Amino acid sequence: MIDKLTSALQFQQQALALRQQRQETLAGNIANADTPNFKARDFDFSQELKRATAQQQGSVKLATTHAGHLPLSTSTSTLDMQYRVPAQSRLDGNTVDMDMERAQFLDNSLRYQADIQFLDDRISGLRKAMQPEQ
Amino acid sequence: MAIFSILDISGSALTAQSQRMNVAASNMANANSIAGPDGQPYKAKQVIFEQQLQANGVGGVKVKEVVESEAPARREYQPGHPLADEQGYVTMPNVDPVAEMVNMISASRSYQANVEVMNTSKDLLMRTLTIGKG
């Protein structure tokens, strides 16, 4: 029962976790906008989400020989971080493009809120399904 | 909690940028200090930023060191000045007020960008806390 609930929310949870990691990456880029030789980083969100969900399905299964055993939770593996290609080069070797980073940050935070909304809807749908008939 | 580390990242940038502003203010204030405690004219100072590494290569920023500018000192011809040398020149600080002003503006813009990142993250965090309430 509980693992059904978990798997119903698994995808949203993973998407949210990845969004949060991306948020952190972008915040790091913005924080280092003036650090010499800093290279801006980012990752391909859809690819990482695909990988995370594939891992979830095809992961190693632990034998549960007791009702109290918990299923193995796959820890989020290291992300495939990539370097941004700068549109203009700077003399100090820094590749942070502030406009781009801020646009991406805004985009990511809106999508994060959208993910939360989907998760909320999912939860209220499940809750409704659990209500006794009236 | 991982999402709080965004606040750490942006907070470290706020600290670093405000230190940069402090140094710029000190340079501006001492643009005409021809004798410091050691009897030498004031030397312009500059901060050096360095990336703080955390997991995944994402991290905040910190001030590695404050270095003194190696720019040649300005020399002004003031024969009547008590600190003038034999040829009548007074050695002035090597502060470039225009460069300091630009530095100050750049620091304050970066500071604002990081405050914005913090505000957005706070909103997302508050929103995350309300998951499942609807």
What does the pLDDT look like over A67-112, one tens digit per residue?
Answer: 777 666 555 567 888 899 988 888 889 999 999 999 999 999 999 9
How far apart, in Å, are the Cα atoms of B41 and each of A14, B3, B66, B91? Answer: 59, 47, 18, 7
pLDDT at residue A73, as a whole number: 56
In three-state secondary structure terms, B6 is helix
B49: part of which helix (H) or strand (E)? Answer: strand B45-51
- Nearest CB to B58; choose among A41, A112, A121: A41
pLDDT above 80 for A55: no
In three-state secondary structure terms, A90 is coil
pLDDT at residue B2, as a whole number: 59
pLDDT tens digits, residue range A13-53?
A: 899 999 999 999 999 999 999 999 999 999 999 999 998 88
pLDDT at residue B1, as a whole number: 46
pTM equals: 0.80
How far apart, in Å, are the Cα atoms of A99 and each of A19, A105, A106, B11? Answer: 20, 10, 11, 20
Residue A62's pLDDT band, with cuts at 50, 70 and 90, is low
A28 neighbors A105 (Cβ within 8 angstroms)? no
* Token pair of A28 as six digits: 């790091």
Q: Is B103 on the interface with A (CB under 8 A)?
A: no
Alpha carbons B91 and A83: distance in angstroms, whole number: 47
Alpha carbons A27 and A33: distance in angstroms, whole number: 10
A116 neighbors A15 (Cβ within 8 angstroms)? no
pLDDT at residue B74, as a whole number: 87
As a whole number of angstroms, the longest Cα–Cα distance in chain B is: 82
B6, B50, B54, B105, best to mutate vs chain A, most A CBs in 10 Å: B6
**What are the pLDDT tens digits along chain B (134 aa)?**
456 788 889 999 999 999 999 999 999 999 988 888 888 889 999 999 998 877 667 888 989 999 999 988 888 899 998 888 899 999 999 999 999 999 999 999 999 999 999 999 999 999 999 988 86
